[in-house]
């Protein structure tokens, strides 16, 4: 979904994409990982609500073969805070 429009939706809605990758070994295949940056938790909540309501996203996720359960074996969500010496801030 990233390659077929999801990143464009993120960018249009003013998300800050940092990283997109696909696991090549390990359990729970297929497995995609991505990292987005937000100014704070309130911004994260606001942007995710806008993303979930976005008509292009709704159309994309309704497309046969594009359901998240078909594309990923497992979905998790981790919130990270950078350490003082992190290059990604």
Q: What is the largest CA-CA distance in the chain?
A: 44
Report yes or no on 77 lying in a domain: no
* CB contact set of 51 (below 8 Å; sequence gap of 6+): 9, 10, 13, 15, 57
- What's the number of domains the chain is made of? 1
* Per-residue model confidence as pLDDT tens digits over 4-47: 678 889 999 999 988 888 888 887 777 788 889 898 999 999 99
Task: Look at residue 1 in the predicted model and tell me its pLDDT.
Answer: 62
Cβ-based burial of 10 (10 A; exposed 0-12, middle 13-18, buried ≥19)? buried
pLDDT at 49 over 90: yes
Q: What is the pLDDT of residue 66?
A: 64
**What pLDDT digit, counting tens, does each position of 57-86 carry?**
888 888 776 666 666 666 778 888 889 998
Predicted pLDDT of residue 21 = 86
In a domain, 80, yes or no: no
CA separation for the pair 24, 66 (Å, rounded): 20
Residues 6+ apart with CB under 8 A from 54: 9, 13
- Domain limits at 37? 2-69
């Amino acid at each position: 979904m990233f390659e077929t429009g999801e990143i464009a939706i993120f960018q249009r809605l003013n998300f800050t994409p940092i990283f997109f990758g696909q696991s090549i070994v390990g359990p729970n295949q297929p497995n995609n990982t991505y990292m987005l940056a937000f100014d704070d938790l309130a911004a994260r909540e606001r942007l995710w609500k806008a993303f979930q309501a976005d008509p292009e996203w709704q159309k994309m996720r309704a497309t046969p073969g594009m359901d998240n359960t078909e594309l990923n074996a497992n979905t998790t969500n981790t919130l990270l805070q950078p350490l003082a010496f992190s290059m990604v801030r």
